[in-house]
Chain A
Amino acid sequence: GAGVSQSPRYKVAKRGQDVALRCDPISGHVSLFWYQQALGQGPEFLTYFQNEAQLDKSGLPSDRFFAERPEGSVSTLKIQRTQQEDSAVYLCASSLGAGYTQYFGPGTRLTVL
């Protein structure tokens, strides 16, 4: 079956612009995660959904970052008033539930000029 997909794959934004990054998880996966991977570093946790409920948002770096999953499937990560330090690859992962393997999408590379 299809894996996790993310769109767009690449996004260039001017500083101050708002961006929206989309994640389509594997069908039937109830858990969905967002991670941020800065250049040369490992991914860092941003937020976690169980179905439509956002159970953990402790990794969101500021109130400019907002994530939603209104119907428990597709998720959107929104970044308002982008800053240069937001430049990174944003990874989405999904799993069947607690304790199951997380499957990652290809990521969205965000560059803020």
Chain B
Amino acid sequence: AQSVTQLDSQVPVFEEAPVELRCNYSSSVSVYLFWYVQYPNQGLQLLLKYLSGSTLVKGINGFEAEFNKSQTSFHLRKPSVHISDTAEYFCAVSDKRYGNKLVFGAGTILRVKS
């Protein structure tokens, strides 16, 4: 079965600093990878996704992620964060062999400080 590990439960960072949220997944030959963001008392919103093709994926709000097959990683980055980026971020994987269900990591809370 697939599994996703988000290595940091919380990441504090100052406004306008760069940030990287780490995600590793268990190996599979046919995976799709996703990052979702969850603001307090709201549902999950898709930030970006990797299905195939270019390993560098750009998403909304200035976020990007790089798919690294050899390291089974899909880290999320932003060069300069804003206070409004404070939220919880979830990495998820789906495996075509097991239908389309998403397997999520435990989440990383990004706290942006002024």
Report A's interface with B, CB cutoff 8 A: 4, 31, 33, 35, 40-45, 48, 55-56, 59, 91, 93, 95, 98-99, 101-107
Contact = CB atoms under 8 A, between A and B. Distances in A.
By size class, the interface of chain B is 20 to 34
Interface of B: 4, 32, 36, 41-46, 49, 51, 90, 92, 96, 99-107
A31 B100 contact: yes
B100 A42 contact: no
A106 to B, nearest CB: 4
25 contacts: A4-B43, A33-B100, A40-B107, A41-B106, A42-B104, A42-B105, A42-B107, A43-B102, A43-B104, A44-B104, A48-B99, A48-B101, A55-B99, A56-B99, A91-B43, A93-B44, A93-B102, A98-B99, A99-B51, A101-B46, A101-B49, A102-B46, A106-B41, A106-B42, A107-B43
Contacts, number: 59
A104 B102 CA distance: 12
B32 A99 contact: yes
A99 B106 contact: no
